[in-house]
Structure 1
Amino acid sequence: MGMSVTISAADERDAEQILKLQYLCFQSEAEMYGDYRIEPLVQTLDELRAELVEGCVLVARLGEEVVGSVRGKVDAEGTARIGRLCVHPRLQGHGLGGRLLAAVEARLASDFSAKRYHLVTGSRSEGNLRLYRRSGYAPVSTERDRQVTLVALQKEATEYAASA
């Protein structure tokens, strides 16, 4: 391609591209679980714009195109809830998801004083589970949401992440 992928904070101008990418990326999850009403597929542009204001949203860009995204928000107890990690299908399998995850962890620790990271994925989402385990996350609970069994994973923020 001749260009490298960069990761930076998202802003209002990225909202539509993020929403389109999210819709594309979460189709396979919806198909796997037989549920096309999962949150990433029904989120509105206004809801996403609110997340841009109140949390930490990062994008991966290839030139001007948004090819990856992740977001997080830290609660009063210092737990960073990370979600909606997605990478364009044509770029999956090249480490971009891991780069986005590490970048959002570092930003949440440095700018929002995160003490731990928490995320949720479907129990049959093996690629996601592998990525999260490689990144140091451990399962802490499961719950049922409609047809989907969700796995919650967590890890503590480290000094390295806080200084990255």
Structure 2
Amino acid sequence: MGMSVTISAATARDAEQIFRLQYLCFQSEAELYGNYRIAPLVQTLASVRDEVATDLVCVARLGEEVVGSVCGSLDAEGVGRIGRLCVHPRLQGHGLGTRLLRAAESALVDGGAATRFRLTAGERSEGNLRLYRKAGYARVGDTTGEDGVRLILLEKPAVAPEFVTSA
């Protein structure tokens, strides 16, 4: 490919690419559940723009193209909520989702002192559940989304990044 993927905070210019990427990436989830009204598919461009302006949104870039994204926010109890993690289908399976997840976690710890992280995954979304378990998340409950999809609630404690000094 010749270029490396970089991860950074999203800017207002990225909103439209994030919007289109989510629509592309969450088609397989919609198909899995037979439900094309899942949140990432009905989110408006204006809502994505608002999210980029007010919340934590990290993007993965390949050159100028946004090829992955993740959203995060900190609630009043210090819980870092992470959602809508997506990676372009042509780049899935290369650790980019893990890198985006770590970037969101790190930003929520550094920028807002998150004490733990919480996210959800559809109960049939084995690939997503596997990624989250591998990243240290454990099931803490179940819920049903506004779209009717059964979701697994996952959490893990937030740990400040460790810095290694060399001698």
Alignment TM-score, normalising by the size of structure 1: 0.96
- What amino acid is the match of 2:70? V
Q: Which moved more, 1:147-156 or 1:96-105?
A: 147-156
Alignment-derived partner of residue 160 in structure 1: 161
Residue equivalent to 2:77: 77
Q: Where do 5+ consecutive residues of structure 2 fail to align?
A: none
Q: How does 1:50-69 map to 2 (within 5 A)?
A: 50-69=50-69
Give deviations 1:44-90, integer Å, cap 9, x for gaps. Answer: 01111111122100000000000000010001110011000000000
Residues of 2 paired with 1:46 and 1:34: CA distance? 26
Same amino acid, percent of matched pairs: 64
User: Secondary structure of the residue that 1:31 maps to in structure 2?
Assistant: helix
- Summarize the alignment of residues 81-120 of structure 1 with structure 2, pairs less than 5 Å apart: 81-120=81-120
Q: 8 Å contact 1:33–1:147 — kept in the other structure?
A: no
**Residues 110 and 160 in structure 2, CA contact (< 8 A), matched pair in contact too:** no
CA contact (8 A) 2:109 2:160 kept: no
For residues 130-161 of structure 1, the C-alpha deviation after alignment (integer angstroms, 9 at most, x for no partner) is: 00000000001112335421001000101337
Counterparts of 1:159 and 1:11, CA distance in 2: 25
RMSD, matched Cα: 1.3
Give the partner amino acid of 2:119: L
Q: Which residue of structure 2 aligns with residue 3 of structure 1?
A: 3
Aligned residues: 163
In the aligned structure 1, how far is the partner of 2:160 from the partner of 2:16?
35
Aligned twin of 1:31: 31
| Alpha-carbon distance in 2 for matches of 1:42, 1:147 | 14
| Structure 2 length-normalised TM | 0.94
Q: Which residue of 1 aligns with 2:21?
A: 21
Q: In 2, Cα distance between the equivalents of 1:50 and 1:29?
A: 24
Q: Which runs of 5+ in 1 are unaligned?
A: none
